A = this chain, B = another copy of it.
């Protein structure tokens, strides 16, 4: 309360930084920053705790700009508060190799919590951050030590409000009664197609009420700083519901085009820049101006934040003396390392051990390691019994008042909300104390593509437990049988797609997934049983590929993954018995990891001189990189008992052998080059 001209000056400074940066870049979105500068000013200065000198302080309040195209707002704030983001960085907005890219990216810019821009993602990340806070608080806070009590603040616009992922996440947050989550909806009536009346006329606040949120409306978001502050305070005081404040603002406030689509995604024209500066009392000829008063005000709040962190550090030290184990555990978690010796818990198998579906093998891993790795927090998009994602004694993560779990619970009921599950997992991972995993059918990981991509881009350690990974799921049929899915995610940079052939490969997949701090994983797992194979060991598995069956003077190499490896092994016998051909088998459970091995090793697996045939019951796309010829399924599957489906499409020892014979014949007398031998290195 008690806002003065200085506040107005600060707000206008932010607006003009957005005007200047987008003008200089001749690209970007000035409208949202100009409209949201007032609420940002109030929220950051009056409510949020953070220390720009240590953006990693655990108990900082989190801020997510879900309407990430408005990132000049965020960059301006980071600069004003004294994060490592200079005026030159602002001037390099949207220029190559700057730390101020067109949308906020967490890996590039200090103070950016999550990568946003693709609409709706930040919204779901914020829900994940709030979940992680609630869980971490329940796990580590002790009487007298409220170590973790931060809030998560999020801005979103009409675009996010329209996206399905945000609806899913909002429904989840309402169910979970996340009182630590405060969102501001920028109700500016404008999206790229112009007035939202052309497509978006629902009652957004009524919808959020239906989800179980606390809702408020501040009608003059352009000027009513008191109203904004009051609403934020009320939201903060609501402890048993997430809060949303509808804030009616004027997009591009101050511009000649204010309130129109013209100011949404285009820089202001030169004369408009001048008039708005004049209107705000700035020199129209100058650019990138920050009055010292504004720096002083913002630096003062930054100093308060630094002081709060200092106090916190003291408390944490004391906590360490009283709660040694928890202190050590929290420090370890923040370092990204796993507890010493955890990997000893990973199940191992020997040939002849019981046949099991790899979804069951995955369950066995979770059962075995969940105590050793307390960072793990799992769930499923309403397929718990099918994904086998829940260890026996798991407690649900639920608001205690529901009587079906508590905040310490490590199992999240995501509901049938794949996209939000993935976005929430990215948010949980970003919090810093947890490693999330979440289950759905492999085919429906595609529903979450938007978030899966951001797991990769923003280096989140998240694990997708993707069961029912092929036509082997049988009766559910083509609507559920993945064909293109592995190709899709294998083509995604910084994503490990694992398709284990048996128990040891499954344990290896978890080992690499959990120890890779900045790479997400998809584990493609079967519904049907698989035998435990010779030569499958943890050590081999973690190389991403290895020789499963070696044979000297082989006529052909069969290269395969997952449930088709054991059929290839049967085909070796069939080929010898029926065609007097000698085959060897290579299992490549993870392309990304195999590619990282030395060329020498890869050539040992896939040597020159022997033609190779890949076998995988889905799209052959991408297999040309590891084989000369490909046997797969470049069509949709079929509904039926899984053995019938495999037979129909000839994924049998006979079917494989037929193609192996063709391959051997085709390459007879030629010098076969290993696909590992390439003319040049790829850019990475």
10 other A-B residue contacts (CB within 8 Å) besides A27-B475, A192-B386, A454-B479: A94-B477, A94-B640, A105-B479, A162-B382, A164-B417, A196-B415, A456-B636, A484-B491, A488-B488, A650-B683
Residues of B within 8 A of A449 (CB): 446-447, 449, 488
One of A198-206, A232-240, A308-316 at the interface: A198-206
A639 lies within 8 A of B162 (CB)? no
A160 to chain B minimum Cβ distance, whole angstroms, is: 8
Q: Can you name 8 A-B pairs with beta carbons within 8 Å? A: A94-B477, A103-B477, A160-B416, A164-B167, A164-B417, A449-B449, A493-B619, A493-B635
* Residue in A117, A165, A673, A683 whose Cβ sees the most chain B Cβ within 10 Å: A683
Residues of B within 8 Å of A168, CB to CB, are: 162-164, 167
A160 proximity list for chain B (CB < 8 A)? 416
Interface string of A632-672 (1 = CB under 8 A from B): 11111011110011001110000000010011011100110
Listed in ascending order, the chain A residues whose CB lies under 8 Å from chain B are: 25, 27-28, 68, 94-98, 101-103, 105, 115-119, 158-160, 162-168, 171-172, 174-175, 191-193, 196-204, 206-207, 209-212, 380, 382-386, 396, 398, 402, 404, 413-417, 419-420, 443-444, 446-447, 449-450, 453-454, 456-457, 474-480, 483-484, 487-494, 619-622, 624-625, 628-630, 632-636, 638-641, 644-645, 648-650, 659, 662-663, 665-667, 670-671, 673, 675, 678-680, 682-684
Residue in contact with A662 in the complex, picked from B197, B667, B680, CB distance below 8 Å:
B680
Residues of chain B within 8 A of A200, CB atoms compared: 171, 175, 415
A475 touches B202 (CB 8 A): no
Of A166, A198, A209, the most chain B CB neighbours within 10 A belong to A198
A407 to chain B, nearest CB (A): 15
Residues of B close to A198: CB separation below 8 A: 396, 398, 404, 413
If A163-B417, A202-B175, A211-B207 touch, whether A487 touches B192 (CB-CB below 8 Å) is no
CB < 8 Å neighbour of A479 from B118, B628, B659:
B118
Q: Count this chain's copies in the assembly.
A: 2
Which 5 A-B pairs have CB atoms at the shortest separation, nearest pair first? A164-B164, A96-B640, A624-B624, A101-B639, A666-B679
Chain B neighbourhood of A489, CB < 8 A: 484
CA distance A94 to B634 in the complex (A): 22
Q: Shortest Cβ distance from A83 into chain B, in angstroms?
A: 19
CB contacts (< 8 Å) of A414 on chain B: these are 199
A651: min CB distance to chain B, Å: 10
Question: Taking CB as reference atom, which chain B residue is nearest A195?
Answer: B404
Q: A175-B202, A484-B493, A625-B624 given as contacts; is B649 within 8 A of A662 (CB)?
A: no
